[in-house]
Amino acid sequence: MQGTKALSFFLILFLLGSCAKPRYVDGLEGKLDGITGDCGLLFSTEDLCLKTEWVQKPTESTFGEMTLSFVDRNDDSRFVDPIKDPFIVLWMPSMGHGSSPVKIERVDVGRYRATDIFFIMPGPWDIRYQLRDGFDVLEEKIQKITI
Amino acid sequence: MFLKRRFKRLLFSATVLTVSGNLFAAPCCGSGFTIPSIITSDDKAQLATSYTYSRIHADVFTNGDWRRREKKDVTEVYKIEGAHIFQDLYQVGLSVPYQRRTRDGAQSDSSAGLGDISLQLGYEYLPDWDYNPLRPKGIGYLSLILPTGKSIYESDDGSGIDARGRGFWGIGGGSVLTKSWGSWDANFNLEAHYSLPKSVSNDTTTGRVTPSYGGSTALGVGHNWESVRLGGLINWFYEAPTDVTGTTPSEGTLKRYASGSLLMSYLFKSNESIVLSYSDQTLFGSPLNTSLSKSVTLFFQKRWQR
């Protein structure tokens, strides 16, 4: 009987000591920013600056959409098509996997629309802006976000 | 006395098996490393079937922050498990899961199919034929995980809804220790595994994924009343970072979490038992880089005596 009481005491102590301590945070979609600044993201292989703007931020319920603008590094009023293919990868480095593919279509010279942007689970993600030649990534710039 | 002890051991056996069958579940990537059927009773064979309903409650980030999952993300697993003794102390086991995942939200969808099949070879290195009052019964095992379930790297649309496995060949080993004193019993499991790297190519990435090591340990206790057993168990899980090279190079972050379970077993025939369990991954430990689920399992087991 004494043994049972002692075992119960240590079990309760052990369980209390093992309790999780959750630190909940709210959804962070509202803090998703586009890429702005003087040059935004510089792709030095083509002397281009990339700026992005969210049209629709992705949530658990909706796909996201953004516009991409490539401008000359030395003249930000001149829109330029990159020679290589612009590509966006949504990547979760902590887990080692990506999300569903993002669609990119050319709207005008140097202007592209990215749609179907969706993060398959909350957490820290990379938005990887790439210039690709087939499967070869020639240059990549990474925007780190938590969603 | 012998029959009473045998009854308790049968209930105990069902409980150990129920919990071990749900060892690691990575919600983004299908079910992961599991220990297949292990015979911890004195029987020569056992066959079990189970149904698990699991819903993601929250996600934990790499910095330890938690975020509630607003949209429904449910995984149901139907599993058949069997094990058979040979040459008295050896046993082989097989576990075959069939999984359905349903998700609400922008990518609302449902998908079902085969998960990762696991095989096991066990050896009873600490037999307990004489019911020694101190020495536990010990069974060591080796496991092989077959990547029969589609992984997130082979997902048709990249959303992962059809990811029912980790996608890697896995080998593992571990040990289960069981012991009972009067109406109380206890069990302990320690397991380590290694998942083999593989090359992947899909719409998002082309490269090589290296998952590396993982492990888990479990500690459980139970109390028996005639044909009923009530038990509790905590499982701790650890998975080393998954690194990726290729078009999306990245260094992963370790995953860890703990799962607390309450189990009620009922032995309604001398060789048949049923177990109802509730598991909650939000209660214990210091989780990191994972999704946390709450789940209910209904488990039925039939055994054949030696």
Which residue of chain B comes nearest to A95, CA vs CA? B252
User: What local confidence, expressed as pLDDT, does residue A135 receive?
Assistant: 84
Is a pLDDT exceeding 70 seen at residue B32?
Answer: no
Residue partners of B130: CB distance under 8 A and separation at least 6: none
User: Nearest-CA distance from B210 to chain A in Å?
Assistant: 9
Position B214 pLDDT exceeds 70: yes
3-state helix/strand/coil string of chain A: CHHHHHHHHHHHHHHHHCECCCCECCCCHHHCCCCCCCCEEEECCCCEEEEEEEEECCCCCCCEEEEEEEEECCEEEEECCCCCEEEEEEEECCCCEECCCCEEEEEECCEEEEEEECCCCCCEEEEEEEEEECCEEEEEEEEEEEC
Higher pLDDT, B42 or B263: B263
Amino acid A5: pLDDT: 73
pLDDT band at B203 (very low <50, low <70, confident <90, very high): confident
pLDDT tens by residue, A10-48: 777 777 778 899 999 887 656 788 998 889 999 999 999
pLDDT in single tens digits along all 147 residues of chain A: 566 677 677 777 777 778 899 999 887 656 788 998 889 999 999 999 999 999 999 988 899 999 999 999 999 899 999 999 999 999 999 999 999 999 999 999 999 999 999 999 999 999 999 999 988 999 999 999 988
C-beta atoms of A91 and B205 within 8 A: yes
pLDDT score at A6: 73
CATH number of A28-146: 2.60.40.1930
The answer to whether residue B277 neighbours chain A at the CB level (below 8 Å) is no
d(CA B175, CA B233): 16
Ordered by where they begin, the domains of chain B are 2-305 (2.40.160.40)
Q: Name the phi and psi angles at A100, rounded to 5.
A: -70, 150
d(CA B213, CA B192): 7
Per-residue pLDDT band for B78 (boundaries 50, 70, 90) equals very high
In this predicted model, what pLDDT tens digit does every residue of B80-138 receive, in sequence order? 999 999 999 999 999 999 999 999 988 889 999 999 999 999 999 999 888 788 899 99
Question: Smallest Cβ distance to B152: which of A7, A61, A97?
Answer: A97
Residue B217 forms contact with A (CB below 8 Å): no
Give tens-digit pLDDT for B158-201.
888 888 888 899 999 999 999 988 899 999 999 999 999 999 99
pLDDT recorded at residue B268 = 85
Please tell me whether residue B70 adopts helix, strand or coil conformation: coil
Q: Measure the CA–CA gap between A26 and A70, rounded to whole angstroms.
A: 33
CA dist., res. A89 & res. A67, Å (int): 15
The average pLDDT across B261-286 equals 93
Which residues 235-264 of chain B have a CB within 8 Å of chain A?
A: 241-244, 247-248, 250-253, 258
pLDDT at B26: 46
Residue in B57, B62, B65 to test binding to A, most A beta-carbons within 10 Å: B65
What confidence score (pLDDT) does residue A111 get?
Answer: 97
Tell me the average pLDDT of chain B: 88
User: Are A95 and B157 an interchain contact pair (Cβ–Cβ within 8 Å)?
Assistant: no
Tell me, what's the pLDDT at B25? 43
Cβ-based interface (< 8 Å): residues of A facing B: 4, 7, 11, 15, 18-27, 58-63, 89-91, 93-101, 118, 120-124, 126, 128, 130, 132, 135, 137, 146
Question: ipTM score of the complex?
Answer: 0.86
How large is the average pLDDT for residues B203-214? 92
Q: Which residues of B touch A137 (CB under 8 A)?
A: 247
Report the pLDDT averaged over residues B70-81.
94
Phi, psi dihedrals of residue B159, rounded to the nearest 5°:
-80, -20
**Number of other residues whose CB lies within 10 A of the CB of residue A142:** 15
- Residue with the bigger pLDDT between B209 and B34: it is B209
Q: Identify the three-state secondary structure at position B1.
A: coil
